[in-house]
Amino acid sequence: SVTRHYKFNVVMRNKTRVCATKSIVTVNGKFPGPTLYAREDDTIIVKVVNHVQENVTIHWHGVRQLRTGWSDGPAYITQCPIQTGQSYIYNFSLTGQRGTLLWHAHVNWLRAIVHGAIVILPKRGIPYPFPKPDKEEIIVLGEWWKSDVEAVINQAMQLGQPPNVSDAHTINGLPGPAPNCSSTGYTLHVESGKTYLLRIVSAALNEELFFKIAAHQLTIVEVDATYTKPFRTDTIFIGPGQTTTAILTADQVAGKYLIAVSPFMDTTVATDNQTATGVVRYKSTAAFSPTNLTTIPPRNATPVTNSFADSLRSLNSKEYPVNVPLSIDHSLLFAIGVGVNPCATCLNGSRVVAAINNVSFVLPSTPLLQAHYYGISGVYTEDFPGTPLMPFNYTGTPPTNIQTTNGTEVYKLAFNSTVQIVFQGTSIIAPESHPTHLHGFNFYVVGKGLGNFDPKNDPQKFNLVDPVERNTVSVPTAGWTAIRFRADNPGVWFLHCHLEVHTTWGLKMAFVVENGLGPNESILPPPSDLPKC
Ligand code: C2O
């Protein structure tokens, strides 16, 4: 393993999309930002220098950060933001990890535009557990607003209402071709008979997405930097923060084939309905040849999302075994949802909130990790409820207990204890699924279902043999998802819905994992350049 150095200069740049130019925060002038390349077990050192007026932090989404929580990145959870003119060096190892991940800003809504891919190749001399493709391609999916993104959420918070949806979805930063402003969309150039490893990263802000290529099947081989049993599909379902790596075989002779990226939301509320399009273009295809089209899954294609999720299995080979905890120390039930609370300062007297077990999480002004490490009291309380405070019943109509309390509450875990969390979607005002992300760990997705979780019968059906391992999982509309992990990483670890608007509304909490007793079981000391608030 080697140490790789990167420099992230955070600078403003003008970018033109959907017929309008705006000045945005970028890393090294790029949108999407630069890709980090490394191999398993390498050490990464990234010096981030903030040359813009806004506060910045960077999160390495899915990197375990074993004992190095200081480099995890979420503002006010593990660090103070990097202010104008300041810099901070993130230093972490990719121990036992290989595959595709993403990095993104983790303060306010900055990740909408500040994000990029992380590619972790296997160790030198170790092959992929699938036939080596002829070429690799990174595909970053995103969303674009014509207006300033922070203004979008600030206005929504003042009104107490959902924010405006984006003006376009993007593939590698490009919306589909727009005839009026002579922009071209993304093109993937292929040669007939060759294979392509597509490393698909969703950096979308508030939408889960479908990804499809006309007349081609995709073979899924990895999600969230863990290998899966290969399976073929014509549609990928991917939530914000998730990654999916698929093999595309260029099995047509020639021509152009549409790439379609369209949103999923299991509801009828009005939305943008934007589909980003690109093209797979075979070599020696005539310029005027028409693009072969494909059908796009409807916005409410829940069966497509379910069958994709159900097909995901861990590879579970000798080299990549499954280690799902079989006995559980902490059995948690997290009811997650969106509701409405009274709000004196809001225009309508009420505002939309989101909560876990009726607690809407409030970010502190001292980072939780610092408070934990130095024993600073008064920053958080340790009473985050492990089960809902009130009984609730999802039967298709809104439950009654939608009032929430505000708090900065954490849940404490002993080092190396085993944890099961059942996330219960409650579908309070809009039926939406929640791509839920846990920092500091991978977890196994052992079960999922519709309606209320049944603690007696559902666990009997858990997959403890080859459950998929990930860092972000979709909790289905009006249903539940169960995960298991071992708390083998001391520190403070954020858990939140990766639909950024839900995070803003309070759908977040944190775990504190105590130090263990062994020599390599404590948080490392903070780096000397750790930003101050
Ligand atoms: Cu990718 Cu806490 O986020």
Whether residue 32 is preceded by a cis peptide bond, meaning omega within 30 degrees of 0, is yes
Q: Is the pLDDT of residue 226 over 70?
A: yes
Average pLDDT of the residues of the chain:
93
Mean pLDDT of 482-498: 98
Query: Is 367 near ligand 1, meaning CB less than 6 Å away?
Result: no
Among 57-71, 100-114, 154-168, 302-316, the minimum mean pLDDT is found in 154-168
> How much is the pLDDT for 401?
59
Q: Which pLDDT tens digit goes with each residue over 4-15?
A: 999 999 999 999
The model's confidence at residue 347, banded by pLDDT at 50, 70 and 90, is: confident
pLDDT at 29 over 70: yes
Distance 429 CA to ligand 1 centre (A): 24
- pLDDT of res. 221: 98
Instruction: Report the atom number in ligand 1 closest to the C-alpha of 73.
Output: 2
Following DSSP, what letter does each residue of 214-233 receive, concatenated? TT--EEEEEETTEEEEEEEE
Does 423 score more than 90 pLDDT? yes
Q: How confident is the model at residue 266 (pLDDT cuts 50, 70, 90)?
A: low
Residue 182 has pLDDT above 60, yes or no: yes
Residue 476 is predicted with a pLDDT of: 84
Tens of pLDDT, residues 274-316: 678 899 999 989 988 999 999 888 888 889 999 999 999 999 9
Lay out the sheet containing 226-233: strands in order across. 168-171, 135-144, 195-202, 243-249, 218-223, 226-233
In whole angstroms, give the CA distance from residue 27 to residue 23: 13
Atom of ligand 1 nearest to the CA of 503: 2
Cross-strand pairs, 258:
279
Please indicate whether residue 104, judged by its CB atom, sits closer than 6 Å to ligand 1: yes
Ligand 1 geometric centre to CA of 195 (Å): 31
CA R_g for the chain: 22
Q: Which pLDDT belongs to residue 47? A: 98
Domains along the sequence of the chain with CATH: 3-121 (2.60.40.420), 135-311 (2.60.40.420), 330-513 (2.60.40.420)
